[in-house]
Every structure is written in structure tokens, then in C-alpha cells.
A and B are shown apart, each in its own frame.
Chain A
């Protein structure tokens, strides 16, 4: 049995990307870390036999949300050199506990041996409709709710991002 199989590699990539997202100094690098986390999670979701959700995760979370964050960051003002020096001293104190907590968690999980493989053999499923037919035939109200939420979100973004014209 090889130790570095695709599941372990995915775990390592996702863990490093998530920690980098939280601990990275630059907001832009944190956004890129979030996109890498999303991409790795979409591969995991695909491995868990959910290709439709994996495609959504990859296109929306790794793509669209990254674009939204990058545009939001580009509209803000960068920190001055003095502010960066002050923030880097301060942030080290605040973020140093995260790796410690994660190491303790990993050690605890290794101790109780909760390390099954990523893909767990599913029980024999009863005849279940496909995800597409489930969405369109049985969960129409959800689709309607999603459309309303999307429209409300778009309306809110236009109000918040849009600048007032000078009269």
C-alpha cells in the first residue's frame, strides 16, 4: 500500500491551501489560496461520486467568487509601508495558535484512528433519480428560491458596488 495516493495528496493540498488562505499576509494571496482550496475540494467532491456539484464548485467557487474578491480588493487602498510593518508584528501573535490547534487535532485523530479512506463503500442505493431530474422534478421550489436569491443578490450588488452620480 503506497502512502502517497491521490486521497492523501488531495488532503495535503487542501490543508496547505486552507492554512495559507488564513495565515497569508496579502489579501490577494489569501484569495488565490481560497481558489486553490475550492479547486482541490471540487476534485474531492468528484471523487465522492458527485460530478454535478463538483463542476458547480469549480466554476462558481474557484472562478466567480475569486473574481468578485479580486475586484473588491482592487477597489480598496493598499497599506502603507509603516502600516505593513505594524500589522506583520501584530498578526504573528494572533495567527500563531492555528498551526498548534491543527497539529493537536491531527494527533488526536491519529490517536483515535479515525482515518478511513476518502471514498467509503456506499450501501446499495435504492432506485434513486438522477441529480438533474431530482432538481427539476422534485425540488422545483428550491430552484425558484435560488433564482429569487440570485436576483436579490444581483440587486444588492448593483446598489452596493454602484457609485452615485454627481448631480
Chain B
């Protein structure tokens, strides 16, 4: 069951990133992917009897997740201020 849940979250997150045109929704897809990885680490820790190590790794992932989400939301807002839209297709016109 846990394998199905992890796969479901991975597929939902990857599909969201590939298909969406909204920057906020792309960040939500990244969040779903990170949640799948967190769940995978906790499940692996539970199966091997090393829950303490898995918990410490999961806490590290969660902290990095919140920083990634906040910084990405800030970048999305910055793009919105510059272009007036959250459409990722506008980023194709960037230099570099």
C-alpha cells in the first residue's frame, strides 16, 4: 500500500510539473515530489528498524522543502511583477 501511495505522489508531482503552465502549480508539483521522497525515507526507516535516522533525515528534508517553497514563490511573484502573468512560457524569452 505504501508503495502505491509513494508512486501515486511521484506520478502526480511529475505530471503536474510537465503539464502545467502556472508557476505556482509547478511549485506545488515539486512539493508533491518532495513529499513522496519524505514518505519513502520514513517507510524505509520503518522497514529496516532505523526510525530515528529516518526521522532526522525527514526533518532535514522538510526544512529544505519549506525554504524551496518560499524562495520559489518569491521568484514566481518576481516574474509576475515583471511580466504580469504566472505563465511559464513567458520565461522562454529570458536572456541567457
Contacts and interface: CB of A to CB of B under 8 A. Distances in A.
Interface of A: 7-8, 11, 14-15, 18-19, 21-22, 27, 30-31, 34, 37-38, 41, 44-45, 48-50, 52-53, 56-57, 60-61, 64-65, 68-69, 71-73, 75-77, 94-95, 97-98, 101-102, 105-106, 109, 114-120, 122-126, 128-131, 134-135, 139, 142, 145-146, 149-150, 152-153, 156-157, 159-161
B96 interface: no
A149 B67 contact: yes
B49 A124 contact: yes
A27 B69 CA distance: 15
B1 A115 contact: yes
A80 B63 CA distance: 36
Interface residues of B, number: 61
A97 B14 CA distance: 13
A114 B39 contact: no
A31 B56 contact: no
SS of B interface (majority): helix
Given A11-B4, A65-B69, A116-B2, 9 more contacts: A8-B1, A15-B5, A41-B39, A44-B39, A115-B1, A125-B51, A146-B64, A150-B63, A156-B70
Interface string B1-33: 111110111011101100100101101110110
Contacts, number: 215
A103 to B, nearest CB: 11
SS of A interface (majority): helix
A125 B47 CA distance: 10
B52 to A, nearest CB: 4
